[in-house]
A and B are shown apart, each in its own frame.
Chain A
Amino acid sequence: MARKLRSGYPMTTAFLLITSAIMIFPFIWMFLSAFKTPAEVYNYPPKWFPGSFKLTNFFEVFKKIPFLRFYANSVVVALLQTFLQIAISAMGAFALAKLEFPGRSKIQVFMQSSLFVPEVVTMIPLFILAAWAGLVDTYAGLILPELNCAFTTLLLISFFKTIPNELIDAAKVDGCGYYRIFLAIILPNSRTAIGTASLFAFLTHWRSYMWPLIITNNVKMRTLPIGLKYLVTETGSEYQTLMAASLMAIVPVLIVYMLMEKEFIQSITLTGLKT
Chain B
Amino acid sequence: MEQKDTGNRSGNSKQRNFKHDQYLAAMVMISPLLITLIMLFLLPVVMVIAMSFTNWSMTTPVREYIGLRNFSFILKDARFWKALTNTVYYTGLKLILDTTLALFIAVLLDKKLRLRRFFRIAHFAPVVVPITASSLIWLWFYDPGIGPLNQILKLLGLPAMQWLYSEKTALLSVIIFSVWKGLGYNVVLFLAGLQSIPESYLEAARVDGANEWQVFSRIKLPLLAPITSFIVMMGIINCFKVFTEVDVMTPNHGPLESTLLMVSYIYDQSFTRGKIGRGAAAALILFVIIFIFTMIQRTFTRKEVGMD
Q: Which residues of A contact B (CB under 8 A)?
A: 6-7, 9, 12-13, 15-17, 19-20, 22-24, 26-27, 29-30, 33, 41-42, 44-46, 87-89, 91-92, 94-96, 99-102, 104, 107, 110-111, 114, 116-129, 145, 147-150, 153, 172, 177-179, 182, 203, 206-207, 209-210, 213-214, 224-226, 228-229, 231-233, 237, 239, 242-243, 245-246, 249-250, 253-254, 257-258, 261, 264-265, 268-269, 272-273, 275
- Nearest-neighbor residue (CB-CB) of B177 within chain A: A26
Sample of 11 further A-B pairs with CB below 8 A, known A245-B136, A249-B130: A16-B109, A20-B118, A24-B122, A29-B140, A29-B148, A120-B286, A149-B33, A225-B133, A232-B248, A250-B129, A268-B189
The residue that B139 contacts in the complex, of A177, A226, A232, with Cβ under 8 A, is A232
Q: Mark B94-116, 1 if CB is under 8 A from A, else 0.
A: 00000000000100110111110
Tell me whether B36 and A147 are in contact (CB under 8 A). yes
A273 to B192, CA, bound (A): 10
A2 to B43, CA, bound (A): 62
Among residues 138 to 196 in chain B, which have CB atoms less than 8 Å away from a CB atom of chain A? 138-141, 143, 146, 148, 151, 180, 183-185, 188-189, 192
Q: Which residues of B contact A (CB under 8 A)?
A: 18-19, 21-23, 25-27, 29-30, 32-34, 36-37, 39-45, 47-48, 51, 105, 108-109, 111-115, 117-134, 136-141, 143, 146, 148, 151, 180, 183-185, 188-189, 192, 227, 230, 234, 240-241, 243-244, 247-248, 251, 263, 266-267, 270-271, 276, 279-280, 283-284, 286-287, 290-291, 294
Given contacts A20-B119, A89-B33, contact A124 B279 (CB under 8 A): yes
A104 to B234, CA, bound (A): 28
The residue that B125 contacts in the complex, of A9, A27, A89, A111, with Cβ under 8 A, is A27
- Nearest-neighbor residue (CB-CB) of B23 within chain A: A101
Tell me whether A92 and B108 are in contact (CB under 8 A). no
The residue that A210 contacts in the complex, of B134, B243, B291, with Cβ under 8 A, is B243
Residues of A within 8 Å of B227, CB to CB, are 273
Given contacts A95-B29, A179-B25, contact A272 B185 (CB under 8 A): yes
Could you show 29 A-B contacts with beta carbons less than 8 Å apart?
A9-B113, A12-B108, A19-B105, A22-B180, A26-B137, A89-B33, A91-B30, A92-B29, A95-B29, A107-B30, A120-B263, A120-B267, A121-B44, A125-B47, A149-B33, A178-B25, A178-B26, A225-B131, A232-B136, A232-B251, A245-B136, A246-B133, A246-B134, A249-B130, A249-B133, A254-B129, A258-B121, A268-B188, A269-B192
Given contacts A125-B43, A242-B139, contact A101 B22 (CB under 8 A): yes
Residues of B within 8 Å of A94, CB to CB, are 29
- Nearest-neighbor residue (CB-CB) of B19 within chain A: A100
Most chain-A Cβ atoms within 10 A of its Cβ — which of B121, B267, B291?
B121
Residues of A within 8 Å of B230, CB to CB, are 273
Given contacts A206-B130, A228-B136, A246-B136, contact A116 B291 (CB under 8 A): yes
Shortest Cβ gap from A86 to chain B (Å) = 12
A214 to B276, CA, bound (A): 13
Residues of B within 8 Å of A87, CB to CB, are 32
A153 to B270, CA, bound (A): 31
Interface of B is mostly: helix
Shortest Cβ gap from A1 to chain B (Å) = 11
- Nearest-neighbor residue (CB-CB) of B233 within chain A: A275
Residues of A within 8 Å of B109, CB to CB, are 16
Tell me whether B29 and A121 are in contact (CB under 8 A). no
The residue that B130 contacts in the complex, of A110, A111, A147, A225, with Cβ under 8 A, is A225
Residues of A within 8 Å of B27, CB to CB, are 101
- Nearest-neighbor residue (CB-CB) of A102 within chain B: B23
Residues of A within 8 Å of B124, CB to CB, are 257, 261, 264-265
Tell me whether A121 and B105 are in contact (CB under 8 A). no
The residue that B276 contacts in the complex, of A41, A46, A124, with Cβ under 8 A, is A124
The residue that A118 contacts in the complex, of B42, B111, B183, B241, with Cβ under 8 A, is B241
Residues of A within 8 Å of B143, CB to CB, are 237, 239
Tell me whether B131 and A42 are in contact (CB under 8 A). no
The residue that B287 contacts in the complex, of A17, A118, A172, A182, with Cβ under 8 A, is A118
Tell me whether A125 and B51 are in contact (CB under 8 A). yes
